[in-house]
């Protein structure tokens, strides 16, 4: 099956892979220093170090760079956002949620370590995130710690609300299916992606207009990202994705391909990709890597 969008390549460009590797190295060392009981540390490491594209930390680091910030100020918050993301996956896969047994090409954490440990490791990942988000000397020095915590906390709450809509419903009254779908996707996935961009900007000491630009970019790629995820669920195989494909329809999920079809979903991806690129224009060359990342996020096949 082809990628969701046309042109370019489906693998991450080398410049982005370098940022991801830099993050990976930081993450591995930082997790090894956590003071946790052995079995809990093993579970957290299993959930955090078993592959994953690292899109949110890379977004955070590139957003920091785009406003002239230093990587040393972004690495801690980047680990924090990946902790929240991986926690959301661990709980998303639980039997009471999506009931998935495969994630990142391996057994899910509850299959590997049991359901109680998966619940507790997810809890710990959430609280650890709020410790690591403070590991940004520049942001702390500028008095921006509270701002970072608020971004992470509001996005995490939005993600959880989105998971409630996705899993249990309970929408505000009188929303059309399309409005419900936008609400689910902006909440369960978009909020964390937008926060990654905003937190990167804050780490880099962004001016208010730079923060607004990166917010707009983050909002567009956040929705785009989940549309691509929905399309891949119906167009790719489990082997290729490393997580179970074809499950959204059988689970009765409200998805873009389910509601508007695969072709119209692809057009929506193209529209959001160009909106994201357009939002970045005022930042000039400094934002080129973010544009490249949006292209890859539209093009990815896993």
Which one of residues 26, 243, 266, 273 is an interface residue with ligand IPE (CB under 6 A)? 243
Q: Please count the CA atoms within 13 angstroms of the CA of 227 that sit on its side-chain side.
A: 33
How many residues sit close enough to ligand IPE to count as binding (CB under 6 A)?
16
CB of 275 to ligand IPE, least distance (A): 19
The nearest distance, CB 166 to Mg ion, in angstroms, is 6
Q: What are phi and psi of 31, to 5 degrees?
A: -65, -35
Residues 179-198 binding ligand IPE (CB under 6 A) are 188-189
263 φ/ψ angles, rounded to the nearest 5 degrees:
-65, -45
Name which of residues 41 to 80 contact ligand IPE (CB under 6 A): 52-53, 55
Interface mask toward ligand IPE for 219-238; x: CB under 6 A = -------x--x---------
CB of 144 to ligand IPE, least distance (A): 26
Give the whole-angstrom CA distance, residue 90 versus residue 92. Answer: 6
- Measured from the CB atom, the residue of 35 and 96 that comes closer to Mg ion is 96
Among residues 3, 19, 60, 98, which is the contact residue for Mg ion, using CB under 5 A?
98
Q: How far is CA 265 from CA 126, 158, 254, 278, 282, in A?
A: 32, 23, 13, 20, 28
Give the CA dihedral 154, 187, 47, 43, nearest 10 degrees.
Answer: 60
Return the half-sphere exposure (C-beta side, CA atoms, 13 A cut-off) of residue 267. Answer: 4
159 binds, among ligand IPE, Mg ion, none (CB under 5 to 8 A by kind): ligand IPE
Taking the C-alpha atoms of residue 164 and residue 166, their distance in angstroms, rounded to an integer, is: 5
List CB contacts of 114: < 8 A, sequence separation 6 or more.
none
Site for Mg ion in 197-236 (CB under 5 A): 229
The DSSP output letter for 187 is I
Residue 63 site contact among Mg ion, ligand IPE, none (CB < 5 to 8 Å, cut-off depends on kind)? none
Binding positions for ligand IPE, rule: CB under 6 A: 52-53, 55, 88-89, 92, 98, 100, 104, 159, 163, 188-189, 226, 229, 243
Q: Which residues form the interface with Mg ion (CB under 5 A)?
A: 92, 98, 229
């Amino acid at each position: 099956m082809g990628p969701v969008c046309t042109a370019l390549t489906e693998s991450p460009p080398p410049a982005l892979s370098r940022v991801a590797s830099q993050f990976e190295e930081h993450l591995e060392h930082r997790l090894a220093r956590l003071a946790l009981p052995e079995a809990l540390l093993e579970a957290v490491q299993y959930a955090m170090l078993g592959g994953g594209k690292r899109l949110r930390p890379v977004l955070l680091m590139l957003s920091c760079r785009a406003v002239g910030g230093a990587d040393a100020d972004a690495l801690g918050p980047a680990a924090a956002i990946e902790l929240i993301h991986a926690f959301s996956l661990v709980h998303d896969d639980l039997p009471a949620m999506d009931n998935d047994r495969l994630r990142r090409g391996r057994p899910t954490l509850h299959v590997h370590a049991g359901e109680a440990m998966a619940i507790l490791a997810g809890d710990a990942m959430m609280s650890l995130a709020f410790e690591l988000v403070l590991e940004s000397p520049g942001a702390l020095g500028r008095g921006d710690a509270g701002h970072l915590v608020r971004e992470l906390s509001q996005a995490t709450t939005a993600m959880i609300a989105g998971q409630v809509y996705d899993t249990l419903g309970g929408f505000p009254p009188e929303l059309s299916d399309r409005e419900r779908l936008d609400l689910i996707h902006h909440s369960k996935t978009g909020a964390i992606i937008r926060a990654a961009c905003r937190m990167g900007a804050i780490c880099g000491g962004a001016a208010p207009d730079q923060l607004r630009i990166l917010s707009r970019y983050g909002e567009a790629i956040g929705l785009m990202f989940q549309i691509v995820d929905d399309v891949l669920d119906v167009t790719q195989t489990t082997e290729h994705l490393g997580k179970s494909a074809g499950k959204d329809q059988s689970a009765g999920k409200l998805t873009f391909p389910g509601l508007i079809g695969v072709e119209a979903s692809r057009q929506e991806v193209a529209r959001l990709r160009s909106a994201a690129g357009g939002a970045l224009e005022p930042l000039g060359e400094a934002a080129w890597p973010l544009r490249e990342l949006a292209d890859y996020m539209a093009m990815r096949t896993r």
